Structure 1
Amino acid sequence: MLFVTAHEVARSLPDIDRLRDLCRSVAVLEAILSPVWESRYYSFSADWSPEEEMASMRNGSGDEYSIVFSAAGAYVRGFAHESVMSPYVNEGPWPGVLDSVPGVFGSCVQEPAFCDETGLPLVTACLWRGTDDDRWHVGEIDYPDGENDADGAARLFGLLTDPVPETFQRFAEDYYQVSVDLEAVRHIYSLRPLTERVISTLNPGITLADLAEDLDEARYPTEIGEG
């Protein structure tokens, strides 16, 4: 049996630029399908800090991830709240998860938004990739015996390790219980300029103007006036 962990996820994640574009597309799709921000899984903020952008996921049940894009590269933090590798189970992050994170990402490790109120990092899986690296990195970790997906990485990052429109369509139809047009998803996955027609195909209840703030946050292209 293959025990999936962050190490397997690292081999499947797209490179930094493609991952950033994927996160932008997914955030825009969610904004269209779910105008209420609190009901969304996925978000993207190009203005998270003056020098950083962030993609995030929260499933409403305690699982979450954050991906920080900066001039240094990308830092990926995942937290599966029921994982046997939870810092609450082990009185701190599981050995090896954060120990090898390079200093250029040190501020991400201690970022208050990624910690609880006591300053404990909320992390069960961590990956990073420098701008000049040719692969994603994960620390040297002795995983719990007999635990598949012990760090939660497979379920946390499944949409990112299978970066095709069909994967998002399956997620959205299951989560929102609506039919999701695959061609519209493909349009947005390709970062083609968003039009009223594409939006109405996915959600006839909103317009391009309604999405202005979300599109700006994701730096997503639009074509005003397209029908």
Structure 2
Amino acid sequence: MRKCDVDLPEPNLLKERMRRLAALDLILCEEDWLCVHQYMPDWAEGVEVGKIDNGAGDDLFVVFAQGGVIVKGFDHESPYSPHAQDEYGVWPGMYEQVPEALLQYVQDEALSTEDVTFCYWRIQGDEHWYSGEYERPEGMDDGSEFLLGYLNDTADSYAEWAKSYFEVEVDLPAVRQLIEGGRTSAANIAKLNPERNIEDVLGQLIELGVTIE
């Protein structure tokens, strides 16, 4: 295996970022299927899953388990895609070195195992993210930079993205409170989306683990 060559946050930071981004999408859009950022805190016992789905055939799953974290991404236009091979199949070696304790999670049908163009993992206690040792032809894009770019790490970057995607004006201070502090309030929810049913949103945010002031 080899050290991951993309910039991924520490596991706990990644978990919180995905949770907070999912909370913001949830506030801005009541249609789950239109939310790009999603988070499932009770996917299985002791397992949480963050997801990015841009609605254009590309997705990213991050499984947070007791033994570590595994990231599986799929860019449907990448030459690493099974659909781009002469014979349909996962790119040779993609999963070969993934620890079994983590591989079991991406083998779940809900995570579309074969739809993969990059995979990273980090065992509990490790200091680095890793990927498999497989052939990486020069110039071939696996889509990791593209999909990981949805993990907006500042309030400004999220607000700019959300304004374009949801086609709404976004209250930056309300976004900042969630992005930076992991908390929100009924007043800020109303600022972000005046048409949203506050009680419905509050219940969903509490399930996500967001602090309500």
Task: Return the TM-score normalized by structure 1.
Answer: 0.86
Q: Give the Cα separation in 2 of the matches to 1:96 and 1:166.
A: 38
Matched, 1:145 2:138: yes
Partner of 2:165: 175
Q: 1:106-156 CA deviation, whole Å, 9 max, x = no partner?
A: 2123111122xxxx6211111111120111111123223333xx1111111
Partner of 2:73: 78
| Among candidates 6, 12, 28, match of residue 17 of structure 1 | 12
Equivalent pair of 2:73/2:117 in contact (CA under 8 Å) = yes
Amino acid across the alignment from 2:139: G
| Structure 1 ranges of 4+ moved more than 3 A | none
Q: Which runs of 5+ in 1 are unaligned?
A: 1-5
> Offset of 1:206 from its aligned partner?
1.7
Name the CA shift for 1:104/1:182 in 2 (closer, same or farther; >3 Å).
same
Partner of 2:202: 212
Equivalent pair of 2:11/2:69 in contact (CA under 8 Å) = yes
Partner of 1:108: 105
Amino acid across the alignment from 1:200: A
Matched, 1:159 2:150: yes
Q: Give the Cα separation in 1 of the matches to 2:103 and 2:46.
A: 15
Q: Which runs of 5+ in 2 are unaligned?
A: none
Q: Give the Cα separation in 2 of the matches to 1:129 and 1:213.
A: 32
Name the CA shift for 1:45/1:180 in 2 (closer, same or farther; >3 Å).
same
Task: Provide the identity percentage.
Answer: 33
Equivalent pair of 2:40/2:50 in contact (CA under 8 Å) = yes
Matched, 1:131 2:124: yes
> Offset of 1:192 from its aligned partner?
4.1
SS of equivalent residue, structure 2 residue 84: helix
Q: Give the Cα separation in 1 of the matches to 2:116 and 2:131.
A: 13
The structure, 1 or 2, with the larger RCO (C-alpha pairs under 8 Å, 6+ apart) is 1
> Offset of 1:207 from its aligned partner?
4.1
SS of equivalent residue, structure 2 residue 72: strand
SS of equivalent residue, structure 2 residue 70: strand
SS of equivalent residue, structure 2 residue 163: helix
SS of equivalent residue, structure 1 residue 54: strand
SS of equivalent residue, structure 2 residue 94: coil
The count of corresponding residues between Structure 1 and Structure 2 is: 209
Question: Which structure is higher in strand share?
Answer: 2
> Offset of 1:213 from its aligned partner?
4.1
Name the CA shift for 1:192/1:207 in 2 (closer, same or farther; >3 Å).
farther
Task: Return the TM-score normalized by structure 2.
Answer: 0.91
Tell me the C-alpha RMSD between the 2 structures.
Answer: 1.7
> Offset of 1:96 from its aligned partner?
2.8
Amino acid across the alignment from 1:95: P
Equivalent pair of 2:58/2:75 in contact (CA under 8 Å) = yes
Q: Give the Cα separation in 2 of the matches to 1:192 and 1:93.
A: 37
Amino acid across the alignment from 1:37: D
